[in-house]
Amino acid sequence: MVAIIVLCLMAGVSCSRNPGEFANLSSARVSASSNSVPNSSSFGPTIPNTSPAPRPAPAGMVWIPGGEFSMGAADSPSEGEVGMQATKDSRPIHRVYVDGFFMDRTDVTNAEFARFVKATGYVTVAERKPRQEDYPTAPPENLVAGSVVFSPPDHAVSLDNHFQWWTYVPGANWRHPTGPKSNIIGKDNYPVVQIAYEDAQAYAKWSGKRLPTEAEWEFAARGGLAGKPYVWGDAFRPSGKWMANTHQGQFPNQDTGDDGHVGIAPVTSYPPNGYGLYDMAGNVWQWTSDWYRPDYYQTLASEGGVARNPQGPANPWDPAEPAERKRTHRGGSFLCTDQYCSRYVVGTRGKGEVSTGTNHLGFRCVEDGHS
Ligand SMILES: [Ca+2]
Ligand SMILES: [Cu+2]
């Protein structure tokens, strides 16, 4: 019997930087998860804290009041091979409380990250040559600094092997998001990408901030609404309006840009949510500080009551790739489409190996109310 591995149920974010992985592209298989997860309970109201911000918001940030809310994503009406079918890890819906905090209005931009690098001389993970001792099975010729890039085929492909559209590209990093020939000139106002978890953490520390927990991120993304599928409400395109940078056309080979952007968009290109936060759905994925486990919501729900300021599980575990240490990603990206990965649905989750950046993964920071 052939072991079927649930390898990458979202748009490639569980691909890793591991050079060994890219040395053998033939073993990738994707299958529907057969985990049995209890069906979701329903959403309750969002009850925001009423106390005002303890101090004026730092530049570029907004006050998120915190409070109690229902976290998770509802069952999909159509459980297909992809998309919402792969969101069992965002159930059951459960009650969570988070304290108030400040959050960056936008993803960290290229200009902001450049200031950090200029001030500190920081070198990102993608710019460092992978060490043989970290990747003992990788052929030496694969030990080249670089990162994972969306490299779509020029023709329609089956959606069962993400290596058909994700490639490890030597020389790809935040200054060259899709490879050595690409650059970020004129893109100061775009989200920085090709950021590994420790890169995001280093930036956060330098700026006196931190990364959001997954619960903080979701509370903020919901913008005061309760149980809506999108950060702006019920309809994907209210009155025909595009509300987020997602993917139109046939995935992965054709990005028609009907929403105004082929590929990544500058920050603030689409309307903010109820808390004044931009791009909490689509454009680029965002790191959160929680380790990823698909059963974490079940664990919280089984404890009963309201989970207060949950920080994520103590250790990472992804049964699809048990050797990879993953943190949770949130928000989806310009590659999200209901054909493959509808992670612009607000309660859904992503995951990523901590040393792996991609050209659709960035981050934003938060700050505690009292500092
Ligand atoms: Ca788009
Ligand atoms: Cu996606």
Mean pLDDT on 259-274: 98
Residue 152 lies in a domain: no
Structural domains counted in the chain: 1
**With contact defined as beta carbons under 8 Å apart, do 99 and 65 qualify?**
no
* Selection from 361, 360, 90 nearest residue 252 by Cα: 360
Determine, yes or no, domain membership for 359. yes
**Rounded mean pLDDT, 265-278:** 98
In a domain, 142, yes or no: no
Q: Is the pLDDT of residue 357 over 80?
A: yes
C-alpha 103 – ligand 1 centre gap (Å): 25
Residue 369 in domain: yes
Separation between Cα atoms, residue 31 and residue 103, nearest integer Å: 36
The rounded percent of the chain whose pLDDT value lies above 90 is 78
CA 172 to ligand 2 centroid distance, Å = 21
According to DSSP, the residues that pair with 62 across neighbouring strands are 103
Q: How far is the CA of 104 from the centre of ligand 2 (A)?
A: 22
Measure 285 CA to ligand 2 centroid, in angstroms.
8
CA end-to-end span of the chain: 57
Evaluate whether residue 33 is within a structural domain. yes
Scored b (16 or more CB within 10 A) or e, 304-330 reads eeebeebebbeebbbebbeebbbbbbb
DSSP codes of every residue in 303-317: H-S-EES----SS--
Q: How far is the C-alpha of 73 from the C-alpha of 229, rounded, in Å?
A: 8
**How far apart are the CA of 261 and the centre of ligand 1, in A?**
4
Give the 3-state secondary structure of residue 81: coil
- Tell me, in angstroms, the distance from the centre of ligand 1 to residue 55's CA: 37
What is the structure's pLDDT at 212?
99
> Does residue 141 sit within a domain?
no
- Residue 104, in any domain of the structure: yes
Is residue 90 situated within a structural domain? yes
* CA of 186 relative to ligand 2 center, distance in Å: 26
Q: Phi and psi of 197, rounded to 5°?
A: -60, -45
Mean pLDDT value across residues 243-258: 96
Ligand nearest to the CA of 262: 1
Give 185-240 pLDDT, tens digit per residue.
999 999 999 999 999 999 999 999 999 999 999 999 999 999 999 999 999 999 99
248 alpha carbon, closest ligand = 1
For residue range 33-69, list pLDDT tens digits in order: 333 333 446 999 999 999 999 999 999 999 999 999 9
242: CATH: 3.90.1580.10
Mean residue pLDDT of the chain comes to 88
Domain that holds residue 51: 29-123+189-371
